Amino acid sequence: MKNNKTYFQRLFTLQFTRKLVLYGFGAIVFLFGVFFLLRFVPEKAFEFSSPYFGTIKTTALYASNYLSEIQDIRLRVEGQRDTIDAAFANAANAQRAASNAEDQVVFAREQLREMETNAAFLQLVVRAYSDDREAFDELNKIYHDEINPQEVNVQGFTTNSRALYAIGVVNSITVLHSGEQNLVDLPVFPVGLYNGGKELNESNITSDEVLGLFQKYNKGSVSWQSGFLQWFSHCERFSKLQRLEVLLEIRKTNKSIFLCEWACREFFRLANITGQRAFHPDNVKIMEDWLRENGSRVNAEKTP
């Protein structure tokens, strides 16, 4: 027991204590050095081999490299932010430009359609003033079709400019053809009229052939037709009813406002109708109503 105690006393001698302190101090220095490298030199790789701890190798370099790459990517994204914003702006501008272009195309088409409509309307006006009865009727139809009760002001006039212009033309033509007039052309039978190779004269022509000639030469020279119409309306070889019926058909079908005017004048003279305008859109209805009410009586009359 005494020997064992002496052994332990020798084991914990000053020399052993010194070695232990030295090894402890070295371990502290080693750990401090590792901490220093990891804290202040992260971009440097180091490796330490020890028979007790094995090999210690830092991954700071890899982490630093990843951080560097991330930083580079961030810088590149920052550098391209303006480009990206510009691309989005360009796309938005392109979309707005496309939308504006589409709106402009629609507007241009509407303007073109309006111009075409106005051009067609002006052609109707020119034709109506050029003795075209169909154009006159179309203008009158435009007025009645386009007038809107919501566009009529307190004075009773429409605010639709197109309808207002149309009725203005209709009224002016009506006034021009409704004044007091004497016979423009002499009521004579024209020479050189043929129907199916047969020469017509005032002694053998029928009321149907008279109407056929006006339909055949519709919108032709109105000079001889005017004299021919007046000859027919005064020719007592035909009954009054025959003449009234032919005059009504001429007013309904002839394309000349001038001839329609004289068909109305002669009809009103034969029917003894007064107070009516010689040419008016309502004349056809007035003439038809009068014939329906008085046709039988006129047909029974002994005198033409």
Contact 238, 304 (CB under 8 A): yes
Give me the residue label for tokens 């000053």. 14
- Quote the mean pLDDT of the chain: 75
Q: Quote the tokens at residue 98.
A: 């496309």
| CA–CA dist 81, 271 (Å, integer) | 93
Contact 11, 17 (CB under 8 A): no
Give me the residue label for tokens 């004497």. 182
pLDDT tens digits, one per residue of 113-153: 666 677 888 888 999 999 999 999 999 998 888 766 555 54
Burial class for 265, CB neighbours closer than 10 Å (0-12, 13-18, 19+): buried
pLDDT at 202: 85
Mean pLDDT over 61-69 rounds to 57
Stated length of the chain: 304
Q: Quote the tokens at residue 148.
A: 């809107």
pLDDT tens digits, one per residue of 169-181: 899 999 888 877 6
pLDDT tens digits, one per residue of 236-283: 999 999 999 999 999 999 999 989 999 999 999 999 999 888 899 999
